[in-house]
Structure 1
Amino acid sequence: MDRNGSPDRPGIADSRAPGHRGLVLGMLCFVYVLNFLDRQLVSILAKPIQDGLQITDSQLGRITGFYFALFYCFIAIPVGWLADRTNRVKVLSLACGLWSAATAACGIAANYGQLVVARMAVGVGEAGGVPPSYAIISDSFPREQRGTAMGIFNLGPPLGSALGVAFGASLAAAYDWRVPFYVVGAVGVLTAVLVYLIVPEPARGQFDPAPVSAVAAEPGQGFGQAIRSFFGNRILAVTALASGAANFITYGLSNFATLFLMREKGMTLEEVAIWYALAVGIGMGAGIFVSGRLIDRFGVRNKSAYASIPALSLLLALPFFLGFATAERWEVALALLCVPLFLNSFFLPATVTFVQGEVDPDARVISGALLLLVMNLVGLGLGPTFVGMASDFFRPEYGGHALQMAFYALAPMYLIAALLFLWLARMIRRAPSAAVPERREAHPV
């Protein structure tokens, strides 16, 4: 038996070995790719789904945003609390199998109501995906490597989006919009089995020589107490709020970008499968990886970098986002969009790494789940819902440019999110432990 009460699995290498840590990280990243691919398929195939099921922009915004987030966010909390007390790998494997089966079920939906139910089931499964992965990575890598590890792990969203666009749009163009849901669902079920067989449960806190104090999990700590411990810390609460505001932009843009490029800029589904997929994969992927490297470099000197770097990235992205919405040709719009795709997600590795480093190892999954609760309830739940409702609101007056006006309405959120991160940076600088403490002992790299 291991220290977490799970049977040791023969043939699995030491989780502290560099090569094995790389294998685990790669496997977890692939699961995140599937997680995000499943989540984004409805947005990627928005146009053919709208044509097939006769749904409005507001309905599309709710099904890709609020309805999904309602289950995804709140189920993540009890799942996170349970995973902190059981085997995190088993929770991840079960969750992956569940959301993949639900994704396949989306393909058989005959009307909007059935699609809503299937998407809610996807949200229930995905609630057990990311928080356990955060904790597994944090207990597999030393502190000075976690920013890069989280950056690599968080390549899941851009890679998932890019693969979803490339394969989803291609399969839909060649066959039918339902086929991608079947294929991706089947791959996910197989991956769930591989996760259980390949990924070991790491020892909790093996790279944390000294306890951290922001959120400490006491033995037998109750579910309610774990929640109060997180939100009772002002810095962690503001971190979650600022992340939610940034995610409002990310999902509000990404869930309607393909529909906007096709309906208002004239892209075809085949062109989306190539050019938009490249923009998402390269732009978002490079941004998340670079932000992880920046966090590792500057966060070691001062913790306020975990907030100031996202604030600067959002301010720099705003003019290019406005240019994307204004451009007349899809080629120009897509080129301008590459900059926000690169900069919008800088906050993700920063805030995730910050929170995971501030909490006790036994509270990492629940803390990650609570961060995702706020981040996704505000961002995923409200962002696409806002853009969809704004588009329908502007349609009577602006007709074919209603989504463009909805994106203009989204733009002020860049300033709101940047101000929240600047406030967070100020709070961190004023905290007693603004500088990252020296490690007490060296661990194998």
Structure 2
Amino acid sequence: MSNAAVTRSLGWRAHGLLSVLVFAYAGFFIGRQIMSIMIEPIKQEFGASDTAMGLISGLAFAAVYALMGLPAGRLADRGSRVRLLAFAGLLWGLSTLLCGLATSFWLLVAARMLVAVFEAPVTPASLSLIADLYPVQQRSLAISFFTGAPTVSAMLGLGVGAWVIDIWGWRSGFYLIASPVLLVSVVLGLLVREPRRGYWDANGSSVHAPRHNLRQAAAHLFSNRPYRLTVLICTLFSFSGFAFAMWNTSFLIRSHGLSLQHAGILAGVVVGGTATVGGLFSGWLTDRLVVVDRRWLVWVPLIGQSIALAFMLSYLMWPVQTAFHIGSMPVPTTMFWCALMGFFTVWWVAPLFNLLTQLVDSWERATAVALQTICTTVAGVGLGPLFIGALSDMLAPFSGDESLRQAMLLANVSLFVALLLLLRLLRQPPFRQ
């Protein structure tokens, strides 16, 4: 591809649509993240166990998300992705408002499940759009901006959200996060045009989608072994990553004695800030290295996650110790390891998402992302928090408040398995030399 052709991707339209997608994704993701600082107050109001909170913060959402993910991906592959995002965002915002109005635990569970219905199209439609906005050699950085949105929203959702919830209660958190998504839905619906599908593919947009039903589409994708292995790796990374994010605030409260407000601020700002920088850096680095050797799409995640695992274990095992104070807020010494872990823990996202868009054709790209997102959501949002919550309850009679620390340590086994699978991915046809 010529330099002139590559330059066409750098116009204001591509960057403008990417900016809208990033802002929208941040808004959607705050809805998941803010649950981590609502665990303790919701648990107290409804008298729920850690297992029940793992259900409401994870599995109830993930189960519905998984059911709706594949149909949402097919809709994005066959229709206007921009209009789909606008419609989904509008209904997502209204459903989030219903969460704040719930008067019982099970009504809140039902409202969270409704939110999942309208969040299902977001990731597949957005990544399909990004693949049509940027060529392969610039796509990792563009994807890192998009996937970095949750880390920025973590700083706002956990920092500002902790302050709002501490003053006005957990219901106010849902009212707070619904407004930006409603706004961006209007912008998408009225001001954004649909880009041409398959613009940067070798065969352009001339290839039309076969008339596969949902089962046939899924079977076709999973017959692709490199795609199947990439999805499994992403799933394992998500299992430990989402579980950590959901329980980190509670870990700081129980094991380090912080208040809800201080724990939420530290968890959001430290992890969110370093993960934002780390995600953008990994995308930038991958785009430069992949020109030399395509295998860097795998080597970057392998190196980053290996380092992140070491820092994660240090963070969780470090003894209670205060390094310094920021005003009245104590900052535990272990937050140093948390910051380093946050920088490296997102190094898998942009390279593997870029790889995924290259392993499939343009007519099935949103469906491919949807299947990947279903797996990562069920494992990460669904099973990860529930696993830690249930394991913490099991260990509580023996370990007390330290049961959560031990459960979070055990969840990192999935990281080690994912690292082994990355080595196996390097032996697949796309990378075999």
Give the TM-score of the pair, scaled to structure 1.
Answer: 0.89
Gaps of 5+ in 2: 1-7, 322-330
Q: Identify the range of structure 1 (216-225 vs 63-72) with the bigger mean alpha-carbon deviation.
A: 216-225
User: 2: distance between equivalents of 1:270 and 1:407?
Assistant: 21
Where does 1:239-318 land on structure 2 (aligned, <5 Å)? Answer: 239-318=230-309
1:137 aligns with 2:138: no
Do the aligned residues in 2 keep the contact of 1:45 with 1:168 (CA within 8 Å)?
no
1:336 aligns with 2:337: yes
Q: How big is the shift at 1:179?
A: 0.7
User: 2: distance between equivalents of 1:177 and 1:375?
Assistant: 27
In the other structure, the counterpart of 2:4 is none
1:150 aligns with 2:149: no
Q: Deviation per CA, 1:211-252, whole angstroms, max 9, x where unpaired?
A: 69xxx8644333332212210001000000010001111011
SS in 2 for 1:203: coil
User: 2: distance between equivalents of 1:186 and 1:297?
Assistant: 38
SS in 1 for 2:103: coil
User: 1: distance between equivalents of 2:110 and 2:241?
Assistant: 24
Kindly provide the amino acid, as one letter, of the partner of residue 237 in structure 1.
R
User: 1: distance between equivalents of 2:64 and 2:94?
Assistant: 16
Do the aligned residues in 1 keep the contact of 2:9 with 2:135 (CA within 8 Å)?
no
Kindly provide the amino acid, as one letter, of the partner of residue 15 in structure 2.
G
Q: How big is the shift at 1:16?
A: 5.2
Where does 1:71-110 land on structure 2 (aligned, <5 Å)? Answer: 71-110=64-103
User: 1: distance between equivalents of 2:363 and 2:223?
Assistant: 17
Q: Identify the range of structure 1 (233-242 vs 329-338) with the bigger mean alpha-carbon deviation.
A: 329-338
Where does 1:41-440 land on structure 2 (aligned, <5 Å)? Answer: 41-210=34-203, 218-327=209-318, 328-329=320-321, 331-428=332-429, 431=432
In the other structure, the counterpart of 2:25 is 32
SS in 2 for 1:300: coil
Q: How big is the shift at 1:290?
A: 1.3
Do the aligned residues in 2 keep the contact of 1:147 with 1:349 (CA within 8 Å)?
yes
Q: Deviation per CA, 1:69-119, whole angstroms, max 9, x where unpaired?
A: 111122111111011111111111111112221111111122211111111
Identity of paired residues, percent?
Answer: 30
User: 1: distance between equivalents of 2:219 and 2:27?
Assistant: 32
In structure 2, the CA distance between the partners of 1:17 and 1:303, relative to structure 1 (3 Å rule), is closer
Q: How big is the shift at 1:428?
A: 4.5
Q: Deviation per CA, 1:2-43, whole angstroms, max 9, x where unpaired?
A: xxxxxxxxxxxxx95611211111110001101110112211
Do the aligned residues in 1 keep the contact of 2:30 with 2:153 (CA within 8 Å)?
yes
SS in 1 for 2:201: coil
SS in 2 for 1:202: coil
User: 2: distance between equivalents of 1:385 and 1:66?
Assistant: 7
In the other structure, the counterpart of 2:327 is none
Q: Deviation per CA, 1:374-414, whole angstroms, max 9, x where unpaired?
A: 22222222111111111101100000111011012113222
User: 1: distance between equivalents of 2:404 and 2:34?
Assistant: 20
Q: How big is the shift at 1:360?
A: 1.4
Do the aligned residues in 1 keep the contact of 2:271 with 2:338 (CA within 8 Å)?
no
Do the aligned residues in 1 keep the contact of 2:271 with 2:339 (CA within 8 Å)?
yes
Do the aligned residues in 2 keep the contact of 1:312 with 1:418 (CA within 8 Å)?
no
Q: Deviation per CA, 1:171-206, whole angstroms, max 9, x where unpaired?
A: 111211111111211232222111112221000111
User: 2: distance between equivalents of 1:17 and 1:293?
Assistant: 15
In structure 2, the CA distance between the partners of 1:220 and 1:387, relative to structure 1 (3 Å rule), is same
User: 1: distance between equivalents of 2:378 and 2:352?
Assistant: 16
Kindly provide the amino acid, as one letter, of the partner of residue 354 in structure 2.
T
In structure 2, the CA distance between the partners of 1:326 and 1:305, relative to structure 1 (3 Å rule), is same
Do the aligned residues in 2 keep the contact of 1:136 with 1:202 (CA within 8 Å)?
yes
Q: How big is the shift at 1:273?
A: 4.5
User: 2: distance between equivalents of 1:380 and 1:183?
Assistant: 21
User: 1: distance between equivalents of 2:291 and 2:43?
Assistant: 48
Kindly provide the amino acid, as one letter, of the partner of residue 255 in structure 1.
M
Q: Deviation per CA, 1:349-375, whole angstroms, max 9, x where unpaired?
A: 111111112221111111110111222
User: 2: distance between equivalents of 1:278 and 1:351?
Assistant: 25
In structure 2, the CA distance between the partners of 1:428 and 1:251, relative to structure 1 (3 Å rule), is farther
In structure 2, the CA distance between the partners of 1:63 and 1:217, relative to structure 1 (3 Å rule), is farther
In structure 2, the CA distance between the partners of 1:134 and 1:288, relative to structure 1 (3 Å rule), is same
